[in-house]
Structure 1
């Protein structure tokens, strides 16, 4: 019997999915709170984790990061009703083993989960091409908006909310050097003005140089 954990904040969907999976002879444990799920999963040692991408306390991408930090390596399949697939791509890049739209037919979902349990990555055919298009677009953006390793490092620290002085301390460089690299970042991303930092972060997120 396969032990499956489902994490989703929508009660109707959560219980409906639980019933579907139990009818296929699975042991199913459900959580409507991802923080509570994190506390319990390590002891549960599930064979599979299904989680919504959009949850108020912690989204699915952050949840994948937390599972990795805690050395919990149960395969993860993300669920979403959204047809904007950028976050799905990020989840897969971070190690998710599959994606299932919430509109998927039960039998198709079960077949997809079975594939993941066999060690495969499952992506519906109708979604795979759109994800490939996103990968191509991100590659083009990285080539168009090419940052040096140091600039990319500083951009990431800016996105994390660090001040110039904090960045200088973390990288063991002077604040003036941080400012010099910032100017380079703004030039590459073609932003200017008093809100250059915010504009640079917004554009970097848009073109795929940063992950939200």
Structure 2
């Protein structure tokens, strides 16, 4: 298997150096570049073509939110994992809605960061349901009401089985777990996931999970 190509983006050179030291020894990960802000990240990513970008949010010139949106809009877009100092932060939630596949805390252990990087490449869930709920409750109540109505309208286009799969994703289940719960094959679940993302114009499982949470399908 080819090594995972990783791009580090943070405006603090000490953070970048620390990440390089922590992660550089992994046999299955190679750090292919660094960037100090979102503008540099877009330029460097276009040259080194990373599989995953570890992205800080608060940076000068162009922040991580804008950079994430632009990276995820590209053809063959890299996965983005957000670097943050807070578990529940509105900007983290915005980054996830923009297409980031998950987040890790800046004080996480090297093993935890590597696990997140490997998981997003494998297409596995990164956020636990508890963390997703924590992020969702961080939003203002009025905003949640608007999002609930909008999410339910968007999900109405799904077939019943697709909706069931989407709810499974919202619960943080893997494809194998969803397949076992719904008595489907794993390839069938994968096909449903692809159709869900196409119908809803989403690009990863985290966005599906957030939409399901927005719609209130996991309440109770």
TM over 0.5: yes
Distance apart, 1:140 and its partner CA: 4.0
Distance apart, 1:119 and its partner CA: 0.9
Gapped runs of 5+ residues in structure 1?
A: 147-212
- Partners of 2:7 and 2:53 within 8 A in 1: yes
- Partners of 1:100 and 1:123 within 8 A in 2: no
What SS is found at the alignment partner of 1:142? helix
Residue 22 of structure 1, aligned match among 17, 21, 24: 24
- Output one character per residue of 1:110-144: Cα deviation in whole Å (capped at 9) or x when no partner: 11221111112412676333113236835544289
Residue 47 of structure 1, aligned match among 28, 51, 54: 51
Compare CA radii of gyration and give the structure with the larger one: 1
What SS is found at the alignment partner of 2:40? helix
Structure with more contact order per residue of length (Cα contacts < 8 Å, sep ≥ 6): 2
Structure 2: distance between partners of 1:125 and 1:66: 27
Aligned pairs for 1:1-212 (under 5 A) are 1-25=3-27, 26-28=29-31, 29-71=33-75, 73-123=77-127, 127-134=131-138, 137=141, 140-142=144-146
Q: Classify 1:40/1:108 alpha carbon distance in 2 versus 1 (closer, same or farther; 3 Å).
A: closer
Gapped runs of 5+ residues in structure 2?
A: 151-220
Q: CA RMSD in A?
A: 2.7
What SS is found at the alignment partner of 1:128? helix
- Partners of 1:42 and 1:72 within 8 A in 2: no
What SS is found at the alignment partner of 2:107? coil
